[in-house]
Amino acid sequence: MKVAITGSTGLVGSALLPMLTSGGHEVVRIVRHGAGARGAIGWDPDASAIDGAALEGMDAVVHLAGESIFGRWTAAKKARIRDSRVNGTHLLVEILNRLAQPPKVLVAASAIGYYGDRAADILDEESAPGAGFLCDVCREWEAATQPAAHRMRVVNLRFGVVLSPAGGALATMLTPFRLGVGGPIGGGSQYMSWIAIDDAIGVILHALTNPQLSGPVNVVSPDPVQNRAFATTLGRVLSRPAFLPLPAFAARLALGEMADELLLASTRVEPQRLKDTGYEFRWPELEPALRHLLGKSDA
């Protein structure tokens, strides 16, 4: 396939690109200031500008671009989080719909933030959205892809916590856990729905090639765990204690609203669409996944 990708330098995109090229696919990156990047398509979502002609004849587009959600959520940060996703998607879809030969499939990122804080409720793709900033962003983000659905298959990948030592949540946790000062966050009973980076990439390939998939797809392992269990497991893999909790008030003091919506919220998500379409997880359980990612053999 000939595949165009936004967000190719992010955590997922940087792993996806070599996987596609090693599989024989031709990859074209959609990047800001792309005129200076060899073989890339330039776009500027802030200025509603993109080299649309260069997208003609693509077999697929994978849309992963968006402002990082990590950091204190000031009003300006929240605007960048929303606008980078919603406005960027609107622009991309508008251009794709104008093409004489549009791609057969648009695979677009979303997140399980769509569901919000739902305690121990088991959530699948049919579950209603929650309430909160991230829920609103995810609903608008996915809605922005829908005008493309009359011309191509559209898949909205609701990513859980993507585990990789190269970045994201796991990379942030490694230093305190290796120093023996890691532990659960808040009460530790909140559910974490996670996915190993290998499976995150595997699901994108599954979405690109499986005509049965369209609409929302939960990109999570079938083994969601409570935060305290995650901390205990990571400590065991690193052969370090993991009993020093980060109190909820301290998380809120450090990170404000982000702490409540990301660190303290409980989202127990089931990958029902992946099960229904026969996706085989490489790393369905947490401890083997962490040992693989961190190069730690079984004890």
Residue 299 has a CB neighbour count (10 Å cut-off) of 8
Q: What is the 3-state composition of the chain as percent helix, strand, coil, each rounded to the nearest 5?
A: 45, 20, 40
Tens of pLDDT, residue by residue over 91-117, are 999 999 999 999 999 999 999 999 999
**β-pair type (49-50, 41-44):** antiparallel
Q: For residue 34, is pLDDT > 70? A: no
- The answer to whether 226 touches 192, Cβ cutoff 8 Å, is yes
Enumerate domains of the chain plus CATH numbers: 2-163+194-222+269-283 (3.40.50.720)
> How many Å apart are CA 65 and CA 193, to the nearest integer?
21
Q: How much is the mean pLDDT over the chain?
A: 94
Average pLDDT of the segment spanning 222-229: 97
- Name the pTM for this structure: 0.95
Average pLDDT of the segment spanning 223-239: 97
Q: How far is CA 168 from the centre of its chain?
A: 10
* H, E, C per residue of 113-164: HHCCCCCCCEECCCCCCCCCHHHHHHHHHHHCCHHHCCCCEEEEEEECEEEE
Q: Tell me the pLDDT band of 298, cut-offs 50, 70 and 90.
A: confident
Q: For residue 48, is pLDDT > 90? A: no
Q: What is the pLDDT, as a whole number, of residue 299?
A: 54
Q: What is the pLDDT, as a whole number, of residue 254?
A: 86
Average pLDDT of the segment spanning 200-226: 97
Q: For residue 66, is pLDDT > 60? A: yes
Q: Tell me the pLDDT band of 36, cut-offs 50, 70 and 90.
A: low
- The answer to whether 182 touches 259, Cβ cutoff 8 Å, is no
- The answer to whether 198 touches 206, Cβ cutoff 8 Å, is no
